Structures are given as structure tokens and as C-alpha cells.
Structure 1
Amino acid sequence: MLLVYTWLKIFIPITILSLAVLVPVNWTNSTLDNSRNIQFSDIDDLSISNIPKGSQRFWAHLGMSYVFTFWTCYILLKEYGIVASMRLHFLASAKRRPDQFTVLVRNVPPDPDETVSELIEHFFLVHHPDHYLMHQVVYDAKKLGKLVQERKQMKNWLDYYELKYERNSSERPTCKQTGFWGLHGKKVDAIDFYTSKIDKLSKDEARERENITTNPKYIMPAAFVSFRTRWGAAVCAQTQQTRNPTSWLTEWAPEPRDVYWENLAIPFVSLTIRQLIMTVALFFLTFFYIVPISLVQYLANIEGLEKAAPFLKPLTEIHVVKSFIQGFLPGIVLKIFLIFLPTILMIMSKFEGFISLSALQRRSASKYYIFILVNVFLASIITGTAFEQLDSFIHQSANEIPKTIGVSIPMKATFFITYIMVDGWAGIAGEILRLIPLITYHLKNSFLVKTEKDREEAMDPGSIQFGASEPRIQLYFLLGLVYAAITPILLPFILIFFGLAYVVFRHQIINVYNQEYESAAAFWPDVHRRIITALVISQMLLIGLLSTNEAADSTPVLIPLPVLTIWFHRFCKNRYKSAFSKYPLQEAHIKDTLERAREPNLDLRAYLLNAYVHPVFKDEENNNRVSSDEEKELENALVPTKRQSCKNTPVSSKHGCSPSPLLPS
């Protein structure tokens, strides 16, 4: 919510200034240049398109561009300092957590005389003798994970049939022995069948566990190394361990609930190759996606639709249908094309090998922002304009084409206004109603829910997806900065969206969504960088637009703006970014000293013993049981909200996670 609140503080003054200064400047008698047969809309009367070429009024737009840039940078500088201070305060006041004492070590070099575990222990006993405590090697447990998951499914079916038998003990329940979902095969006693399946899977699990722990090929050259003090962990995590910079690589371990265990088994040497493959894949996905989007955008206007389907011409001439096609259809089509994109980008991020859920979200957000920047913003301006002005392009000289594109940039304001209403306003309304989760729950409840565990999973609201929501909001910020000095009438639509987003998402985060992990504002540097990118793009587009309007005297005055903006970004990065990547040794030493004074008999080894054990090595009883000490630690780790996840909230919690009544037969 800090992000939306920051954008509100930026956009409220910008909107007021734009409407107060630029709208009167733009609103003159219609002087739109139709000499090149370019199609204009009524909204262009309130944009920079309505100013005559070479007019002195362009100086107003130039001056307001400086005002908008300086105000945005001023707010960003203040917010960067506030967020950095809040992060350091949170880390200093946070209760004891396993990740404060633990470092992830990767790319451990092989040794013919020692196992990976022995080599890690000897290395840290030699180089960190006063602070090393223990370690937990990383195993490739994918096969074991499948067995554990299959046994859980069998146990769920067994619970269902036992419950069914308890309600009607006169007849033993039966099921079909083979076939997909038990659709065919010989009928057998269901309880006996699933009991035997569970026994067999339990034996397979035991054999696989023994095989993993004894077979060297399942032991990865990585480990979670824990230290006696936070100071020792901070020194290890933030320093180079050997003269070879590619071995014994150390970094802060994610908190246990933030670990993405599937990627820990990926060899470190393959990570670079994986990232290269995904970079190439993202390039082709981004730029080849322009083709269908541009084609559909072309067909989603009156001229394109009538050319592709002449028989629809009588229908498209109806005023209501024509208004819908011109106003809302392009935005709806674009929204449909982007529905499955976040899932695709998350799969790509997982393939790259990031080891924490927060890192996966940040990487997915970065990919998504690049995608919508190219395909939603740039493609809608460039390719959409090219299709709409195709006839004008064909019948003019080549040196006139850049001018046509420059003039037509404000013309896409109508499309972006409808896109904000379709994607932004309607998206906020959908966030309140949560129709898709509601429909999904009822479908699961009708066809898939068989036990109380199924009901709990079906009711789980999940967590807010930063990788999909943040880049979309960043797009509206980009649109606001671009059109603030070009078409100010677009800003109220964005301001309304930010206001609604703040109110709605604040409610959803407090009362609906689960807290999946705690990143301590680690996302902010990425957010800051994308805002700076939006500023530079808006400045470059304004320079290009003024250069096509015979404002040669004023255009060079804008050239310092991108340079100053990039310098400002480098200043903020050098000043504050270390607070988001490093933990001050002074803070670590203070916390260690206070903890030793308050808890002199603390058994840190017992506290960290099972913190970073792979979930498949923990039996079901340990997974479901939460001790009183763990309850306190968990409550301290979570941000206080009115609702907490049933997965993250202890059984005896007061936050409303008590089990619901058993399902009827």
C-alpha cells in the first residue's frame, strides 16, 4: 500500500497543475492540422494537438514537464529515505527468526576425500571458528516429494471413505481399483484399498529417504549454514569466502516459509544458462506478441472490422455498437490477451532457478513490466497508430511519416482512457467482488471437496500476487507521466484509479489475503527504478513530440531532463540501496548483545535444528503440530492483520481459523 500511497502523493499535485495550467493553454479554437488526412477525436481539443505549430504556448508544456519531473523526484527521494529507514527499523526491532542466523552457501567445490557435509563443516570451522554453529545440506528430493504428495492424496481419500462409513456403518464403501479417477476396473473395499496403498507408499518413502541421505548423487553442493550470532551470519553473507569468486558463494538465506525448495536442487553452474535461455524466450515472447495484439487492435476498430467482415457494416453503423467498438472493445481484447501472461512469466522465473518466493515475484514483476511497456504502451502507440493512419502513411512522402507518428501520440489518449476504465476501474471492482475465486470455490465445493482438508484448501484466498499487480499499477503511473504534459484530461481517470486501489487493496491485505512471506520492503529499489524509467520515457516522448510541431527553439531545453533524472537515480541508488541488500554489523552486534543479556540460557541449536529441513523430511505429525514457542515466533514474524492464513496461524489462534463443520455425505 505504500506504493499506491506514494503515487497518490505524486499525482494529486500533478493532476491539479495540469488541469489548471495546461487545459486552458490547449483549449483554443480548433486548429487541428487535417492537411495530412489524419483522424482526430474530440478529446484532442484538450490536448497538445490543438496548439498551432510553432506556437509560443509550447513553453507552458515544457515548463510543466520540469515541474512534474522535479516534484516526482522530490517525492521519490523522500520516500526512498522513509522506506529505507522503516526497513532498518523493522530489522532492528524484529523478533528472533531463523534467517537472521542463517546463510545459504552454494557452489561448494568437490573434494575426493570428504563428503559435501564434511567439507562444509571443516571449511566453516576453519574460517569462522568462533561463530559457526551447524549446517543443513541441500538434497535433491523431487522424487520423494512426489511420493509424499501422492501419499497425502491417498490419505485424503481414506479419510473421506472412513467418514462415509462412520455415517453409514451398514455398508462398507467401495471404489474401482484401476483407471483414471477410478472410472473403470474391479470394485474393491475402498478403506482396505487405500490403506494398502498408503502402506506401500510409506515403505517407498522410507526407502527413498534412506537413498537420498546415503547416495552422494542426491546431495547438492549447497547448504544452509547457521551461526551462533547475527554478527557472524552478517559477516559471512556479505563477504567473499575464497580468492575464487565462483566457489563458496554465500548469501542471506530466505526465511523458511519464503524458500522455494524445488529450485534448491538445480546445479549452480546451470543457472546462468537457464537465465540466458529465459532472456531469449522473453525477447521472443515480448516482441512476437505484438503481432497478434496489433492485428486484433486493428480489427477492433470500425475501419478494420468493416474491411475484414463487410457483412457486419450495417451492425457497426448502429450508434451504440459503434461507440462500444471504438471505446471499449480494444481495451477488452487487450485485457483478454494478458490474462494468462502472469502465469507464463512465473513459470519462466521458476525455470531460471530463483530460490525464494519473493525473488520469483520480483523477477516476474520485472518481466511483466517489460512486456506491458512494449506490448501495451509502445505497441498501442506505434502499431495502433500505424494501422489507424495506414491510408495517410501510404499517400505521403517518407519524410512526413515521423511527423504523423509524432502528431498521433496524443491521439491514443482515448484508447488509454478506456483501457484504464476497463482494466483499472473494472479490475478494482473485480477485486472487491472476487467473482472468479467465488465461482472457483463453489465448483471445487461441488465436485472436488470430499474432506475437511479439501474444504480448507478450497477456501484459502491465497496471497496478493505482487508479480502481476505491481507492474499493472506501474503502467498507469507511466501513462500519467507521459500524458500529464500532453493530454491532461487523462489524469483524473488515473487519479480515481489510484484512490480506489488504495482503499480496496488496503482492505484486501488486512482482511482477505494471507501473508506468504516477509520481504521487509526489499521490492522498493525495483519499484523506484521503474518509476525512473517511466520519467525518462515521458521526457523522450515529449522531446519527440515537440520536434514534430516546429518547436525547435524549445525542444533543446528538454534535453537536460533525462540526464538529470538518470543522475538522480544513481544518487538514490548509491545513497540508499545498500540498506536493501546489506545488514549493518552494528545493528547485528546490538541485537546479539541484547539477546544474550535477556536470554543467557537460550539453546540456539535446538531453535535452528529443524528450521531449514526440507518439508518432505518432516513427518505429517510435525508438519501439523505447532508448539507454543513456534506460535509466538510466527505471530512476531507476521504483520498484524485482522485475518491470518489458516496455514500460517496456529491451531489455537484467535484469528478465526477454527475448522468448519464436517461435510455432509
Structure 2
Amino acid sequence: MAVSGKSLAITVGIYAIILIVAVLLFSKWRLAKLTRKFYAPKRYVVTEGYPKPPPLATTFGGWVPQVFKMSEAEVIRCAGVDAAMYLKILRMGFELFLAVSFLVLVIILPINCTGDEVDNLIATNTTATNDATGEKYTFTSLDKTTISNIPSHSSMLWAHAVITWAVTFVAYWWLWKYNKEALRLRIFYLLNQPAGAESHTVLLQDVPGVAYGTIPNRADGTLLKIIPKSIKQKAFQQTEMLANKGMNIAKGVKVDVPIDLAKDTAADNAAAAAALSTGAINVEATTGRWEMRDEWVTAVNEIQANDGSVKAMVEGTLHRVYHDDLSAVHMVHDTSKLDPLVAEYEKRKQALTDMVDNYISLKRRGKELKVKQMTVVGATMGAWGKEKYGMKPKKVEALEFLRDRMTELRRAIREAQEEALEPGHVFPAAFATFRNRTSQVVAARTLMSEDLATWRCQGAPRAEEILWNNLGFRVWERAGRSLAMWAAFWAMAAFFMIPVTAVQGLLTMNSFLNFLNSIPIVGALVTGMLPGLALKIFLIIIPIIITIMNKWSGMVSVTQVDLGLISRYFIFQVITVFLGSFIAGTFANQLDQFIHDPGSIVTLIGTSAPQTAFFFMTYLLIGAFLDSAFGLMRFIPLIIFWVKSRFLAGTERAKARLWQDQTMTYGTMLPDNTISILLGLVFCIICPVITPVACFYFAMQYLVWKYQLIYTYGNVYQTGGLLWMKVFDQCMVGLAFLHLMMVAILGVKKSVGPPIFCAILWIFDIMFTIAVHKRFWRPQECLSLISAAEMDAKEAATLGAPGKGADEEVRQRYLSPSFKFDEAEHDQVLEEAERMRKVVVEGAEDEKLFAQEAEASVHSSVADEAEGRVTAARTDDTAAAGADLEAGARETEAFQDTVEQGGPGSFRSVTLSHYEDASEEMRGAKQA
């Protein structure tokens, strides 16, 4: 169904009203007492060292210019390098489409409007005498702004081809500029990693000599039938070595030769072997062959030589390569039985702490302390639960149960930890930490072994992001899972084409259209809003499904999972949102003509395909107006926050968690941004009016997400700017589709020269992509050896000895969280619970317990808003704002000092120019 100017205007008007209302509500509610912590949680966290953002103006709309003006240094200090990189991507989209809009609106739009092809085709509808066979096209006044209005064979098509070249090289220029910015931010991130963290650590996978993860250990009967026989035989031989206590590396091979020649053959082999053998290479005398090193055999023998210790084998192997630069090795263990116990323990501890806090809060308000009970089912808690509570549901005293359950869980956790540390539960993975960055760079970038099925080495992810259970997969299982995941992904994409086609088909049903046209305002709304909204709704669950697929495929960190989501979600949207909607919409818009005259398919594509651009324009309008409005207000999270804080969160600690624990990931946002770049580029020549919509989309997204990243959301992970590598490739896909579209459209317009002229651009696309990858990709993987050596020298001078910081940091960092247990905290929680139980149940007095601040262990600024109680920790907002302003200035200056001290001089000179305005801005604010 063609989109009319009326329906488009009504749609834009409604969207604009929604956006304006959202901005007005946000401007008011961000200052309201009830919701200010929800809309700016980072302003109210008082943990020492937490990067608090600067205060915003209390005037109604004063926050907008302040957010726009905040420097890159402020963004990095408050939200990290990924946030700065993401905002640069949005800024690039705005700048790119601002330039493209100027080109196409000034040159292409007037050319399209001067054509008469649409008028001629509309006239065809009125002169056709036979409805069954006559041509009948569906057009609106908006179509006169597209390339549909240019007749075939027209010389004006050359203008479209020339502007295609201009748009392409404008895009190249901006992409090259932001590639340099991305590299600058990436190096800045790498130079400022603390000693002993991922800057000094590598992840080793597929460690040989470990039974876990091998085919006999992991494959069931069905899978074994699929695996080739030769692979199965080798796998079973490897695991058999472990049972046989190892074997010699040098193996004799039986050779069948005639008896009378055996002696001569053996002598010849021995002579040849002696001639070829050197101090470093040994040729087998019995066969005359040199065999490659068998990593599995070597590892098994070394493990047995070290009393069965895999860790000693790994340390020995790495020590032979890196000598004293190796600081520590942490083996990864199977914690599948331990993890559920730890999860339940944390849940019970939180419940017990909240209950104690609640009693303290009630006591302060002068309310009666009643004994709380809870229903437990002993059968769900193993032998301990059955013995203590029986098999049936039973009501028990809550404080006593939680205390006893935590004690039992601590005992069970100790046993499970000891079991997990046994040799049979070792994963074929380890974290190796070095005393300096130089060795880490070498280890992460070099080949550990010629056998790629063993000793696979990569830079370690951040310890907080690791998916520990996925470290047990070997390369064969990761490859198999990845293949299965891709098969499921393509099947899902194919299935999703059904609803996409259905939406387009629904809008072409005559009965449906007649009903809509009888109610003009409804028809305008449906044609302008329904298709894009339906597509947005269908896409909601896709990121969740892809995330589950990525985790199942064996990715080892949250960063890998989310970067994988960025790639796959973009591919999915290209297939369904772009190609699916374009193909379905092209034929649906002129379905009647195509059915009655299939021979007119070429003319149909040339006239109908540009109409589909208006569908994609409505899709971008949703992102520009509705996504921005809902992204700013976050209505659903706000409702959940209000309900939980009002009715479910009974303690200060629980209420604090509601507004503090707000996080986001880039995996769902970036593909929406890059698909918008693709749509804007692909249709910028065909339908010039789409470019200002794309420009407005990126401007609004920049404002909304700059605020949210600085004031609201915390980081789930930190890639250090690796987002850009995905974005660049996706932008190049957009350019490739632009050139494909122009070649196709100009071709069906029966023009010879222009499509050939545009086809040449594919060569430039390939050349530009290769040039960018060669120039910028490798430096983003890890530090150069020169930069690493400079950082090592600075750290040695600062810490007093090379690797001292790494030694101290690594002791606990890359140990699974399931092995970490805070005994002091455990004892304190149980002690407070017992003291509270004596007060509640036995009526004892404990003034010291109630004198302490219930919220002191979390954040002293948390207040019980529902009861109207103001804590002593809360100070006057004006005084707090002044103090925060000074603190923000100090933090920004300290951040600049870090930049000055953190990297090589060549990089420092580039970096400081971007941060000099930060301290000046904050000093000016202090003086004001």
C-alpha cells in the first residue's frame, strides 16, 4: 500500500507529540523526589571511588545543552571507553547524514520533482479500458519525490549515478576519520588497564592431557555415530594414555618387508636417520621418518612425571617458553555441582540481610517486631532438609531457618569446593598471568603449538565477564555447537519472513483497504504507522534468542556473547527487515498490476521499489521519535520500579538495589543503529527525503543515550572500543547494498551508462575495506610491543619491582567466584541474625544492634521515601550539588593526569588535545 503525504504528516505529528510529552515529563520527573534516583542513579551512589557524574541544571530543560556539551573525558570517566565509542558512532551517523542530506536534497530532489513519469502512470489508470488486462499502478504525491518520477532512458539518471559516487566518497571520508578515532580510544583503553588484570593475563584453551572435553568424555552414543572413525580412534587413544599412566614419545612402527631384505632396510633407515638427525631434530631410526611432536603424548608424560598435576604440566610448559616472566597459573575446574549451592547461598544471605534490615527499620519507627514465618519443603533441600523438616511443606521461623540453611550451605560448599579441585574435575583451560605486559602481548599473538587442536591462546577476558562453564569445551565441541547455532539462526531468519510478508500482504487486501479508506484518519494512521510498529514488535524477542544461542555455542565471556549478538542481529535485520520487507513490499505495492500483467515486472520494479523507501522511512521515524521517547522515559522499568519500591521492597537495602542495578548492553542497540545507517544509505538517492529523517534519528539517539550512559546505566562489560570493528563492517555492507540498489534501479530504467558507472564502486568498496582492515584492525587486537615495554618500565619504576602489581593482583582475580568465600562477612551476617532473633523471639534488648544505620553497609544516601523518613546522611541538595561539582572537577583533573602519565608520548600528544577542555570546563563551573 502506497504511503500518502497525508498519512505521513499525521504519523510524524503523532510521533512528535509523543516525543515532546516524553521530554516534558522527563524534565519534570528527573527532579521529582520519588523518581530522581531512578532517572539519575549514578548521582546518588556514594561508594568511595565511584565516578559520580556532574550535577545538571535544575531548570526545566536546562539538562539538554549541558548533556550535549559534556566532554569526551567526562563520558569516559563516568561511563567508560565503550560509552565514548558508542556516542562517537551516533555522532558519525548524524554528521554523515547531515552531509548526505545536503547533497541529495539540493541536487537529487529537484531533479526527481521535475520528472513526469508518475503523472503518466497515473494517467494510464484513467485511460485503461479493460480492468482485467490494462495497466493499473498505485501512486501518491509522495512518489514524485523519488526516482520513480524519472522516465526510462532519461539523461537525468546520470545525475543519480554521479551523486552515488559523491555519497560513497563522503561516507569513505567519515568512516576513515572515525576509524582513527576508534583506534585512538582503543589504545587509550589498553594503556590504562591496571597491572595484574587482563593486561597481564592470557587464556589457554584445549590444554592437552586432560580427559575433560574429549570426545569419549563428552559425546553420547548418537553423536559418536556422526563423528568420523579416524577422529574417534585418535580421541580414544588419547584418553587411553591417561589410564595407562602415559607412554613413551618415541614409538616403534611395524614395517612389513621381505625377510632377506629386512636387515639391509633397517641399516639403511638407521644410516639415513643418523645423517638427518641434528641436535634439535631426531629422525626415527627404525622407520627413517621424522614425526611431528605429539602434544598429547608429551603432556600425558609430563603430567605423570608431576604426580598427576595438570597445573604443574602447564606451568612447566609455559616456563620453558617465558622463563621467569610467568607469574602464576590458575587451572579452571568443573563447578557444575558447586555453582547451584553458591547461588542459593547468595540468595539466602540476601534474604536474611534484608530481614534484619527490615526489623531495624520497624524498630526505629516504633513499630512492633513480630516473628516472621515462612513455608519450606524439606524434600527440595536434600538429605539435610528431609531430616530437619520432613517431606511435607512446613511453616518455620524465618530467621532461624535462614541462619541454619546458610550454615548448612557453607558446609556443603566446602565439600563441593574440595571435590571440584580433584584432578578428575579439571577443565582443559587455564589462565596464565605474566609479570609484564610484553610477555602477555607475545603470548596472545603467537602460535603456541603447530597442533591447532591444543594450546589455543588468546588474551584473557575481564574476570567479571567470564562464562566459566563454557571453558570446558574443546575446539571440536565449540565448532560443532557453532555450526548447529548457525543452522538454527538461518532457520529462524527464514521462519521470520512469514510475519514480515504477512504484514505487507495485509496492507494490500482490497477489503481491508476499502474499510480503512472509509475512515480517512484511521487509514492514514495504519498506512503510516502499522507496518513499522509491527516489525518492531516482531523483533523484540530476537536478541534474547540469539544471546541464548551464543552462550550455548561456547563463547567464553559476556563481551564475546554481546559482540556476537551485534553481528548476528544485524545479519538477521538485513535478511528480514531490509531484504524481506523490500522484496515483499515491492510486489505488494503493485500486486494487482503484477498479477494481471506479469510481463511488466521490469517496469514494476523500477516504479514500485522506490515506493518501499517510504515504508523504511516510517521505520526510521519510529526509531527517531518513539524509541527516543521510550528510551528516555523508560515507562515499563519505571512502573516496575514504582511497584517494587512501594509494595515489594521492605528494606533500605532492597530499595537501593532497585535504582542502583540498572545496566545495559550494546548488542541490541548497535544493530538498530547500523541498520538505520544501511537504510539511510541505500535509499538516499532513490528517495532523498529519507536522509533528514535518518539525520534526526541519530541526533535524538545521541542526546538520549549520552544522558543514559553518563547518569543512569552501569556497564555489564567493557570491550575497550571493539564495538567499532563491527560497526565499520556493517556500514560497508550498507554501501555495498547502495551500489547494488542503484545498479538495479538504473538498469530497470533501461539506462546503459549509469548502472555501469555505479557498478565500478564495488571495486572501491573492496579496496577501501581491505585498506581499513590492514591499517586499523591489528593495532586494536592488543598493545604493540613498544607500548607494552614502555608501560612495563613505568610500572617497574612506580611499583618498585617488575611484576609486583601483577603478583599481588592475580592471586584471586582469575579464580572462579564459586571458590571465593568471605568468611568474615558470613560470620557477621549470622551473628546479626542471631542477635535479632533473640530480640524478636526472646524479647532481649540490644540497643547497639538498632543504633547502627541499616543502610550503612550499602549506601548512606538511601532514604525511606514511602515513610517520609530523612536520614542523617542526607544533606541539603544545594550544598550537595556544590560539593559534587568540586568533586567532579577533582576527578576530571585526576583523570587527565592519568592520561598524561599512562601512555607513550606519541599517543599522549594526540590524546591530550581531546581532554584539555574537560578541566577548563570544570574549573569554570567551580568559579561560577
Q: With structure 1 as the length reference, what TM-score do the two structures score?
A: 0.89
**Displacement, 1:446?**
4.6
Aligned twin of 2:146: 47
SS at match of 2:432: strand
Matched, 1:288 2:495: yes
Matched, 1:141 2:335: yes
Q: What pairs with 1:130-279 in structure 2 (closer than 5 Å)?
A: 130-163=324-357, 167=362, 171-178=370-377, 185-214=393-422, 216-279=423-486
Q: Is the 8 A contact 1:103 1:251 kept in 2?
A: yes
CA–CA distance in 2 between the matches of 1:623 and 1:285? 47
Q: Is the 8 A contact 1:106 1:223 kept in 2?
A: yes
- Pick which of 321-330 and 241-250 moved more: 241-250
**Displacement, 1:353?**
1.5
SS at match of 2:683: helix
The superposition leaves residues 182-215 of structure 1 with CA deviations (integer Å, 9 ceiling, x where unpaired) of 9x9332222222222222222211111110012x
Q: Which runs of 5+ in 2 are unaligned?
A: 1-86, 125-134, 210-299, 382-388, 828-854, 868-928
SS at match of 2:698: helix
Question: Larger Cα Rg: Structure 1 or Structure 2?
Answer: 2
- Pick which of 599-608 and 519-528 moved more: 599-608
Aligned twin of 2:247: none
**Which residue, out of 313, 319, 324, partners 2:520?**
319
Q: Is the 8 A contact 2:206 2:454 kept in 1?
A: yes
**Displacement, 1:572?**
0.8
- Return the letter of the residue paired with 2:509: G
CA–CA distance in 2 between the matches of 1:410 and 1:376? 16
Q: Is the 8 A contact 1:105 1:222 kept in 2?
A: yes
Matched, 1:120 2:328: no
Q: With structure 2 as the length reference, what TM-score do the two structures score?
A: 0.65
Q: What pairs with 1:368-447 in structure 2 (closer than 5 Å)?
A: 368-398=569-599, 400-446=600-646
CA–CA distance in 1 between the matches of 2:462 and 2:369? 50
SS at match of 2:718: coil
Matched, 1:525 2:725: yes
SS at match of 2:715: coil
CA–CA distance in 2 between the matches of 1:403 and 1:612? 64
CA–CA distance in 1 between the matches of 2:505 and 2:866? 53
The superposition leaves residues 220-273 of structure 1 with CA deviations (integer Å, 9 ceiling, x where unpaired) of 011100111111111111111122122111110012223233422334431101
Q: Is the 8 A contact 1:382 1:405 kept in 2?
A: no
**Displacement, 1:347?**
1.0
Q: Is the 8 A contact 1:451 1:663 kept in 2?
A: no
Matched, 1:362 2:556: no
Q: Is the 8 A contact 1:104 1:222 kept in 2?
A: yes
CA–CA distance in 1 between the matches of 2:692 and 2:627? 17
- Return the letter of the residue paired with 1:524: W
The superposition leaves residues 37-91 of structure 1 with CA deviations (integer Å, 9 ceiling, x where unpaired) of 2322221111111111111111110000000001111221222123213322442
Q: What pairs with 1:460-479 in structure 2 (closer than 5 Å)?
A: 460-479=660-679
SS at match of 2:203: strand
Cα 1:447–1:279 change in 2 (3 A) is farther
Cα 1:83–1:156 change in 2 (3 A) is closer
Aligned twin of 2:654: 454
The superposition leaves residues 275-333 of structure 1 with CA deviations (integer Å, 9 ceiling, x where unpaired) of 1011101101112100122113322x2x42735xxxx9556511111111111011111
Cα 1:409–1:133 change in 2 (3 A) is same
CA–CA distance in 2 between the matches of 1:191 and 1:657? 24
Cα 1:37–1:315 change in 2 (3 A) is closer
Aligned twin of 1:640: none
CA–CA distance in 1 between the matches of 2:739 and 2:449? 46
Cα 1:540–1:123 change in 2 (3 A) is same
**Which residue, out of 503, 506, 528, partners 2:703?**
503
Number of residues paired by the alignment?
A: 629
- Return the letter of the residue paired with 1:613: L
**Which residue, out of 106, 117, 121, partners 2:205?**
106
Cα 1:583–1:495 change in 2 (3 A) is same
**Which residue, out of 679, 685, 689, partners 1:485?**
685
Cα 1:171–1:577 change in 2 (3 A) is closer
- Return the letter of the residue paired with 1:177: V
Runs (4 or more) in structure 1 with deviation over 6 Å come to: 179-182, 622-625, 662-665
Q: Is the 8 A contact 1:105 1:250 kept in 2?
A: yes
Cα 1:410–1:118 change in 2 (3 A) is same
Aligned twin of 1:537: 737
- Pick which of 436-445 and 117-126 moved more: 436-445
Matched, 1:614 2:816: yes
- Return the letter of the residue paired with 2:740: M
Percent sequence identity over aligned pairs: 27
- Return the letter of the residue paired with 1:370: I
The superposition leaves residues 630-651 of structure 1 with CA deviations (integer Å, 9 ceiling, x where unpaired) of xxxxxxxxxxxxxxxxxxxxx9
SS at match of 1:188: strand
Matched, 1:37 2:37: no
CA–CA distance in 2 between the matches of 1:30 and 1:231? 68
Aligned twin of 1:628: none
The superposition leaves residues 497-530 of structure 1 with CA deviations (integer Å, 9 ceiling, x where unpaired) of 1111112211111111113333221121211111
**Displacement, 1:431?**
1.0
CA–CA distance in 2 between the matches of 1:12 and 1:296? 32
Q: Which runs of 5+ in 1 are unaligned?
A: 626-650
CA–CA distance in 1 between the matches of 2:550 and 2:808? 35
**Displacement, 1:450?**
4.2
CA–CA distance in 2 between the matches of 1:531 and 1:257? 31
Aligned twin of 2:509: 304
The superposition leaves residues 408-437 of structure 1 with CA deviations (integer Å, 9 ceiling, x where unpaired) of 121012212221122332101111111121
SS at match of 2:721: coil
Cα 1:192–1:90 change in 2 (3 A) is closer
SS at match of 1:409: helix
Matched, 1:64 2:163: yes
Q: Is the 8 A contact 2:327 2:807 kept in 1?
A: yes
CA–CA distance in 1 between the matches of 2:623 and 2:697? 10
CA–CA distance in 2 between the matches of 1:607 and 1:176? 44
SS at match of 2:719: coil
- Pick which of 46-55 and 314-323 moved more: 314-323
Q: Which structure would you say has the larger RCO, counting Cα contacts within 8 Å and 6 or more residues apart?
A: 2
Matched, 1:91 2:190: yes
SS at match of 2:89: helix
SS at match of 1:177: strand
- Pick which of 122-131 and 486-495 moved more: 122-131
- Return the letter of the residue paired with 1:617: F
**Displacement, 1:652?**
10
CA–CA distance in 2 between the matches of 1:240 and 1:151? 42
Cα 1:88–1:268 change in 2 (3 A) is same
Matched, 1:26 2:112: yes
The superposition leaves residues 588-628 of structure 1 with CA deviations (integer Å, 9 ceiling, x where unpaired) of 11111121122214353222111111111111468999xxx
CA–CA distance in 1 between the matches of 2:559 and 2:753? 48
Cα 1:659–1:154 change in 2 (3 A) is farther
Q: Is the 8 A contact 1:263 1:354 kept in 2?
A: yes
